A and B are shown apart, each in its own frame.
Chain A
Amino acid sequence: MDFNVIKDYLPLYIKAFMLTIKIGWIGIALSLGIGVISAFILHFKIPFFSAVVKVYVELFRNTPLLVQLFFVYFGLPKLGISISAEACGALGLGLLGGAYMAESFRSGLGAVKLSQTESALALGMKKRQLFTSVILPQAITLSVPAVVANLIFLLKETSVFSAISLMDLMFTAKDLIGLYYNTTECLFMLVIFYVIMLLPVSVLGSIVEKKARFKMFGD
């Protein structure tokens, strides 16, 4: 391995790293928003909207991100809407993640024991008070592990952004390999940068998970 090559490529990788993170987190923020709203709609069984959400979740969970990105990137301009590759990436990731987040939050809401609802009702609480002060805090804690898993999954999924010519980590690595054939160095740096991006999320995630578990169950 040639460390001079690594040094030369470093700025390009850092640039790609920043872009990947930027789009990744915008997409994730979007997915959290979509996920929470969708989960509420499913939990409260709001007519019509809950059917829409179900179709959306199944559609996006059962198609690859690459296909979804192609639809957004090449499909939207045909409808007269043109958006940048970056926005496209964030939107695609947000829609994919939203479907997964919706399921995670919904299962968290569903996992709060019925007896919690009953004991709150027996104290004279109204449905809304019961939801905000009893169900929701427990549901959030219960969905933490699934949400953390989703975060890591979504950040890894950013690697398909290169397909819509976004200059993310994957694109940069492939590009450099194509130009200069320094395959070993380029792939090595690719792995390292992905680890740098994901390790903190993973570590932080498991700390939050442990804390949440402890608060709820004491172990």
Chain B
Amino acid sequence: MRRWSLVAGVAAAALLATACGSSASSGSGSTSSPVTLTIWHNYGTEQNATALQNLAKAFEKIHKNVTVNVVSQPATNYFALLQAAAVSKTGPDLAVMWTGLFTIQYKDFLTNLKGKIPAADFARIDPAALKWTSDRFNPANGPYVIPLENQFYIGFYNKADFAKAGVTSVPTDWSQLFAACKRLKAAGYLPFTYGNGGQPLGAEFYPWYDMSYMMIGQYPLSEWQKLYSGQIPWTAAANASQLSIWSKLKSQGCTNSDVLTKTNNLGDFESGKAAMIVDGTWDTQKFTSALGAKVAAFVPPFSSAPIKGVVDFSGDGLSMTTYAQHPTQALQFLEFMTTPQAARIINAAGLIPAIKGTSTTNPVNQEMLNFVSQDHMTAYPMLDNVVQPNVVNTGSKELPSVLNGSISPSAALASLQSTQGQLPASQRGTSYP
């Protein structure tokens, strides 16, 4: 009996020692011992990846004891990997997260930063950017994400191609767009290029850039929530009409014929073969490097009346996982992202910082900002970030076929409507979750 008591005593002491040791090395309290902070991203080789790498290097210089391990995860199943890692608590300290309903979908393993980061740091961030990272899209509820940048879904056009084709003004509605297409075609240019942007596997082009502008052309911002709630059905005649006109871009020869299977559409634009492309700020630097002063931004005029809105939205940023091994350093990194130094690094990578009082030095990015600040266009969120992920998934599959002419607008919209109808009522309420 005595021997058993002795064994139990030794075991208890060992357990206690282990517990004390592990709490001391958890990283949450110590700021001087060597720490490796892990960040996952899905940026591939885009300029966002450059910005993140440079932020990490700058952070390491300030915090000598911290090594930042920036891990590039495959974009195709990034969120699946993140979710699986959260189940086993083997994921990173910080992870790139998309904002809007993507954040809300994954918030179970994201830390609400309210009270974790000083209010003064939050105050430096563009309030419009913080809004879309919080419960019910109300910043007072606390953000889950510190935005990396302000992003635009935007059109890029080649000024030289326009000039040679005799297109003297940038189109602002459907009729002007089709007229410009006709001139560009006649001059031997491909007016619009569509494709999957060089993704390595056979995915189709992402239709939500265009869909955002079709819905901007149709509804004021205050109405967009009704697309989420179903008060405006996807099958509404107005939506079908917009898609129907959009599909004429291909049937009237304004696009390449292989819109579903083309992979080098970015190359077409960079080479000057194609005059227009709908893309985003993450490729601005690539286009300005290839085309110099020839490239400019324009608002895709997918509207019967002159278009009045632009997608200006902080689409992504960094979140701290609930199981982060080094929460102290992770929070320090997030705080660092709100500083002017971080803004300069983000700008240098060709992105638009989401920090108040900072600017962009890329002239094409500045043109985008001017759409809101000088032309007084309404800033809209990305439509795919504010409608249900299931609907986005169905749209990503069905909408490209509408442009291709393989299925009718009404069939595609019926599919979206059906997907939305399958969701429980809690996921299509009159307010965001």
- The finding on whether chains A and B are genuine partners in a shared complex, rather than unrelated, reads no
- On A, residues with C-beta under 8 Å from B are none
